[in-house]
Amino acid sequence: QKEVEQNSGPLSVPEGAIASLNCTYSDRGSQSFFWYRQYSGKSPELIMSIYSNGDKEDGRFTAQLNKASQYVSLLIRDSQPSDSATYLCAQMPGGFKTIFGAGTRLFVKA
């Protein structure tokens, strides 16, 4: 079983809609979770971090963490074409090592 699993997509949503990206992880000891955005040919860019159960909002982005279900998600409200990218879910089981999922490709149609 992969340590961090994401649906590869592509996920296609119309402009203005809510995009919902999901991620499951296998290590129950994980304490830190991150969402990175990666445009094609570019480096990953940190957009959200979450450490405790519940929701965390930052602008149009909301991260949700459910440790009991080993599930973390990212909601993007009012999706824009510029949000089209690959979104990488990452966990930090402990210490320093960060484990990434393979990413979900998002397309926002104008």
Partner 1 sequence: NAGVMQNPRHLVRRRGQEARLRCSPMKGHSHVYWYRQLPEEGLKFMVYLQKENIIDESGMPKERFSAEFPKEGPSILRIQQVVRGDSAAYFCASSRDRGHGQPQHFGDGTRLSIL
Residues engaged in binding partner 1 (CB under 8 A): 4, 8, 31-32, 34, 36, 42-46, 49, 51, 88, 92, 94-103
**Nearest distance, CB of residue 79 and partner 1, angstroms:** 22
Q: Under DSSP, is residue 5 helix (H, G, I), strand (E, B) or coil?
A: strand
Nearer residue to partner 1 within complex by CB, 10 or 14 = 10
**Nearest distance, CB of residue 42 and partner 1, angstroms:** 7
**Nearest distance, CB of residue 49 and partner 1, angstroms:** 6
Nearer residue to partner 1 within complex by CB, 15 or 71 = 71
With beta carbons less than 8 A apart as the criterion, state whether 21 and 11 touch. yes
Q: Under DSSP, is residue 28 helix (H, G, I), strand (E, B) or coil?
A: coil
